[in-house]
Structure 1
Amino acid sequence: MPKLLQQAASSLLVSTYQAGKLVIVRENEGKLNTHFRVYNRPMGLASDGGRMALGTAYTVEYYRNMPEVARKLPPEGRHDAAFLPRHGHITGNIDIHEMDWAGDELWLVNTRFSCLCTLDNEHSFVPRWRPKFISGYAAEDRCHLNGLEVVDGRPKYVTALGTSDTAGGWRENKAGGGVLIDVESDEIICRGLSMPHSPRWYQDKLWVLESGNGTLATVDPDNGQLETVAELPGFTRGLDFLGPYAFVGLSQVRESAVFSGISLTERVSERNCGVWVVDIRSGQTVAFLKFEDAVQEVFAVSVLGGMRFPEVLGGNDKHLAISYSLPDEALKEVVQPRTAAH
């Protein structure tokens, strides 16, 4: 993993709601460096060049990359990106799952209310779309809507663990009731999936994780044909790509009613937690990061392309008090402080 990140001049962000952490995964002098930031149930993660958003238990936190600040962080010259908090939005407990940018708009999977939503300055959230089998908005997690992919600036694909219209009804057939939906046409592309997550459009292919089987697969959007690319030793959830590689989040999954009766628990007795890297040309694992002890579940994985050693500054970091971001026009009129004469 360190060699791969070094060659790609990139790093990773990994959210784990179970451990309450955002993990910054970086290469440092040939070794793997994992830096942990504490949050209240971090899940959905959207990063897009200079901006990042993180969904927590009842908020969405917005960040901006400020490279000038990065250069001043100790040890000086090590960091090449620094994400500073800009503002937060209180959503209430809507069980935010995946998030993605559509142009300048952030779209969220609002799992508790079975819809896709956006945010504004007046409301907790603004519902924008729901599956046609969901009759109305209720805080009942009816179908466990979870995954989201934006294509050409518009929400395009979502995954759900069922098509129920009753409170928690998706649990009745969780092992094989999952669906992949085209948001624009409102049609189900593929049925019979085992706990699908993380739909992605990459290299002109539609990808999906069948978490209940622990697999990475492709789906033909025209006929719904599913083709498994790789079987992995964990509950697959969280997916991003870089070149010919898929970065797949793996969770051990809890021995609970939610995860009982899925094929993964029968196929793999010792399940892993971390990030596995799959060569999508061959389906072979080429690298992995395995968490021990404290982290048992991963939700989101995001590749920060071109950022070798980023930092995410917490709300109490001392650098926030002395770091300023101004419009370009205002920057032209900024004067340097004069040193006192002696």
Structure 2
Amino acid sequence: MQDEKLSALAAAIADPLAHDPGDAPISISAGLADWMLAQRLSLAFTSYQTGQLIVAGVGPDMRLSFDQQNYARATGLCYDRGRLLVGSMFQIWRLENMLRPGHYANNAFDMALVPRTAHTVGYVDTHELALDADDRIIFVNSRYSCLATIDPVHSFRPVWRPPFISALKPEDRCHLNGLAMDGGRARFVTMAGMSDEKDGWRAERAGGGVVMDVASGETAVRGLTMPHSPRVHDGALWLLDSGRGQIVRADIDSGRCEDIAFCPGFLRGLAFSGNYAIVTVSLAREGRFRDLAIQTGLEEREAEARCGILVVDTRSGRIAHSILLGGRFTEMFDVAVLPGVRNPMTVGPATVEMIGAVSIGDEA
């Protein structure tokens, strides 16, 4: 079974057109460009099913501007001071802004993100990414059920694993998937089930998910359904109870949870701008959500699952803005806010533009 999966992944690398989304229709909510300008931000998001990194900003014509590049099975994102980390099928990429302050690319873009380093970690099913207080990359290694960092010799170096995981084996035992940083250190993780057996989490999809405190190894929140993307924001723990379609806020001390908003789709990726939560939503694999409570939520609201980006006002639970993708886009993964950036662009690692993406640093 695992060999078949790896063979399929290898085929996707060999045939990038298999993941080409083509001219996918995009539906943008009215007023989104004005909101992004008012919030002084742009967005980066990934679709691992199509293998795309997409950045969205506001161009000189005051319209939404999109730029997309191919990163095989693009997953987690982390943005920090002009640097963007991108997880992919077997590498973690570091993109840097090559523009100096006040400079523009093509008279339109105030940020040009160029690949500078690719750390080859192998197929470890990289999920979310972060930089710690020492500027060290920390990533969720789902396949080996641990948090890990990069290593100059080996595929990865484990830095933490759940206390019930007895061995580091490529068995995706608990589906560790989300990481919350706080003060430059790993604070919370999400997992779909507390299993120590190969793919054991699958038997606990409904209600078996938890948030775990990294420092203590204690369970902070229980009874979740396929939780993802924990975040510490505004003094609270936030997470996505993805199997129910809910953005959730939890009290850090008590673990008591409050549903903030229902979103029509499978949730992954969570970022904030003040009182707004930005999330990605995806369609169900194989066209249905099976035994997950999100299906009931959709039926009760007479709604259909969507694929794209939602901006949710956490004060009211209202979906304020959206970017909805069609065509071959069915599954999104992560989203990151680029504060202070109006209109970013990226250069892909296997493009003609990469050949000429040359910038000169200060002389030593």
Residue-by-residue CA offset, 1:163-212 (whole Å, 9 max, x unaligned): 00000000001011000011011111011101100000111111000000
Q: Which residue of 1 aligns with 2:7?
A: none
Identity of aligned residues (%): 40
Secondary structure of the residue that 2:36 maps to in structure 1? helix
**1:97-246 to 2 correspondences below 5 Å:** 97-103=127-133, 104-246=135-277
Give the stretch that moved more between structures: 280-289 or 99-108.
280-289
Q: Would you say the 8 A contact 1:158–1:181 is kept in 2?
A: yes
**1:243-254 to 2 correspondences below 5 Å:** 243-254=274-285
Secondary structure of the residue that 1:140 maps to in structure 2? coil
Give the stretch that moved more between structures: 211-220 or 265-274.
265-274
Q: Would you say the 8 A contact 2:140–2:178 is kept in 1?
A: yes
Q: 1:134 & 1:4 partners in 2: Cα distance?
A: 44
Q: Would you say the 8 A contact 2:228–2:240 is kept in 1?
A: yes
* Amino acid aligned to 1:52: L
Q: Would you say the 8 A contact 1:70–1:82 is kept in 2?
A: no
* Amino acid aligned to 2:341: M
Secondary structure of the residue that 1:238 maps to in structure 2? strand
Q: Which residue of 1 aligns with 2:68?
A: 36
Structure with greater helix share of residues? 2
Q: Which residue of 2 aligns with 1:276?
A: 310
* Amino acid aligned to 1:20: G
* Amino acid aligned to 2:203: E
Q: 2:259 & 2:54 partners in 1: Cα distance?
A: 28
Match of 2:79 among 47, 59, 81: 47
Residue-by-residue CA offset, 1:219-276 (whole Å, 9 max, x unaligned): 112221110011111111110001221101111121379x420011222151011111
Q: Which residue of 1 aligns with 2:124?
A: 94
Q: 1:256 & 1:145 partners in 2: Cα distance?
A: 24
* Amino acid aligned to 2:315: R
Q: Which residue of 2 aligns with 1:306?
A: 340
What TM-score, normalized to structure 2?
Answer: 0.86
Secondary structure of the residue that 2:167 maps to in structure 1? coil
Residue-by-residue CA offset, 1:281-340 (whole Å, 9 max, x unaligned): 2221111111112211110010101111111111234365452342x453xxxxxxxxxx
Shift in alpha-carbon separation, 1:106–1:325, aligned structure 2, 3 A: farther
* Amino acid aligned to 2:309: V
Q: Would you say the 8 A contact 2:105–2:111 is kept in 1?
A: no
Number of equivalenced pairs: 326
User: Is 1:323 the equivalent of 2:354?
Assistant: no
> CA offset at residue 82 of structure 1?
1.0
Shift in alpha-carbon separation, 1:194–1:99, aligned structure 2, 3 A: same
Q: Would you say the 8 A contact 2:180–2:231 is kept in 1?
A: yes
Q: 1:256 & 1:175 partners in 2: Cα distance?
A: 18
* Amino acid aligned to 2:181: V
Q: 1:30 & 1:83 partners in 2: Cα distance?
A: 21
Secondary structure of the residue that 1:307 maps to in structure 2? coil
Q: 2:51 & 2:112 partners in 1: Cα distance?
A: 21
Q: Which residue of 1 aligns with 2:92?
A: 60
Root-mean-square deviation (Å): 1.7
User: Is 1:297 the equivalent of 2:328?
Assistant: no
Q: Would you say the 8 A contact 2:98–2:359 is kept in 1?
A: no
Shift in alpha-carbon separation, 1:232–1:55, aligned structure 2, 3 A: same
Q: Would you say the 8 A contact 1:16–1:43 is kept in 2?
A: yes
Q: Which runs of 5+ in 2 are unaligned?
A: 1-31
What TM-score, normalized to structure 1?
Answer: 0.91
Q: Would you say the 8 A contact 2:91–2:119 is kept in 1?
A: yes
Give the stretch that moved more between structures: 186-195 or 274-283.
274-283
